[in-house]
Chains A and B, each alone.
Chain A
Amino acid sequence: MMRAILLRDLRLAARGASGTGLSLAFMALFVLLCGLALGGSQPALGPGLLWLAATLSALLGLDRFYQPDQETGALAQMHHAGASETAIATAKCLSFALTAIIPLILAAPFLALLLGMDGPSITGTVLSLIVGAPALTAYASVTGALLAGQRSGGVLAVILTAPLLIPVLIFGTEAANVFAADGLATVQFRILAGLSFIAVALGLPATVAALAANRGA
């Protein structure tokens, strides 16, 4: 059942419904603007800027998380067809991670070159993005579910999600910063992993509750 929902989403994404391309373009543009505004290469600020770029790009695509299926009534129909909200949320989160987050992480090393970052710094940033990805997905899912009934929730989505992502942003950037010197076994990476864990543990039930509320329960 989860598999069917995931496959349907991936199929839709492959046909352009997820806006992956636009998110990628936004991320690249953001890095370009940062470079221009800050005066060229910023190797020291690189991890932070890439984290910001990835977070904001992911949040901009958030209105495609649940909104289209809420609007057509597909979410309610899936529930009627026996799919639990937990299964729906899990499938949707997986598809969001695959179509909205992972492409951004894959693009990060190339954008890092624009900022003049060196190898270890790039590796650190990519690894920290991977460890933080579950948190990004989970909080995006909560906001997506809360705003599922809203056609234009763009700015509000950012306002609702950004405060929750502050810890992830802080520890993600710091984990990337210390990677070159200390590797993966740092407090920063551990806390980041912990934050991801907490985010999933909180985000999944909150998403389920929000989806149920939007279904009319």
Chain B
Amino acid sequence: MPDRFDTLARPISLSVDSLHLSRGDRRLIEGLSLELGPGDALWLTGPNGIGKTTLLLALAGLLRPDAGSVDWMIADHRVRPENAVAYAAHQGPERNGLKLGEELAFWQTLYRDRKVLQARLESVGLSGRADTPVAGLSAGQRRRLSLARLMASNRGAWLMDEPLAGLDTEGRARVTHVLSDHLSNGGLAVIASHQPVPIDGVTAHKLVLEPGS
């Protein structure tokens, strides 16, 4: 297993080869191939139910492809998705009953994040909110928490499902800032979103999923 702390220091890349995905009995994606490297961002877009989330799940190793392959490489070594990727699902894993600070600190412990909790909270604009119960968080605050979790993961690849949903202008600017920072440090991101996610100074690709004929 590669050292997690050095993930960002070593080049990460993704190679998807003729991927076939289905959910239940529905075929969603057939024969998708793509390559992404350090600093690349891929914006996934398309109508509801087309398979954006399914594709993210497959990239995260949380869904078995019917055929084809998803390969994550760190410094030219094949690694398991869970060692390369942090996945911010549409709904976060936070549990009602915990406080915001406890929730984030839990994930920091699991990811062995070395930044202090306060710094993480501050970077997503949640400083002073550590004692807010998770149950009382707004949709936008949950998005921010999710962003903080990605940062704490120290993983080279971020998979984000609708990262802008429910965010205010300031929140969007944070996402842009954090994401641009991640990419310019050699990170990689795949973002499923209905609205464009502005990113500064990096190459971004757009993958449009459309109903087949």
Contact = CB atoms under 8 A, between A and B. Distances in A.
Task: Assess A/B contact in the complex (Cβ within 8 A).
Answer: yes
Interface stretch (B104-112, B116-124, B175-183): B104-112
A216 interface: yes
B154 to A, nearest CB: 10
**Which of A77, A215, A216, A217: most chain B Cβ within 10 A?**
A77
A11 B102 contact: yes
B62 A215 contact: yes
B85 A80 contact: yes
Interface string B88-112: 0101111111100010001101111
Contact of B82 (A4, A17, A80): A80
Interface size class of chain A, counting residues whose CB lies under 8 Å from the partner chain: 20 to 34
A82 interface: yes
Interface string A59-83: 0000000001100111011111111
Contacts of A78: 93, 110
B82 A74 contact: no
A198 interface: no
A76 B102 contact: no
A190 interface: no
B64 interface: yes
B62 A216 contact: yes
A151 interface: no
Contacts of B89: 73, 77
A12 B95 contact: yes
Interface in B39-57: 57
B95 A69 contact: yes
A68 B134 CA distance: 14
Main DSSP-derived SS at the B contact region: mixed
B141 interface: no
A12 B97 contact: yes
A72 B98 contact: no
Contact of B106 (A4, A16, A68, A79): A4
A187 B96 CA distance: 46
Contacts of A82: 4, 82-83, 110-112
B52 to A, nearest CB: 16
A12 B98 contact: yes
Contacts of B60: 76, 80
A5 B110 CA distance: 9
B110 A16 contact: no
A101 to B, nearest CB: 21
A10 B183 CA distance: 38
Contact of B98 (A8, A76, A77, A217): A8
B110 A4 contact: yes
B72 interface: no
B87 A77 contact: yes
Given A69-B93, A82-B112, A217-B64, 14 more contacts: A4-B106, A11-B102, A12-B95, A17-B95, A72-B92, A74-B93, A77-B87, A77-B107, A80-B86, A80-B153, A81-B107, A81-B153, A82-B82, A217-B61
30 contacts: A1-B110, A4-B110, A8-B102, A11-B97, A11-B98, A12-B95, A12-B98, A17-B95, A72-B93, A72-B94, A72-B95, A73-B91, A73-B92, A73-B93, A74-B94, A74-B95, A76-B60, A76-B62, A77-B93, A79-B82, A80-B82, A80-B85, A80-B86, A80-B153, A81-B107, A82-B4, A82-B82, A215-B62, A217-B61, A217-B64
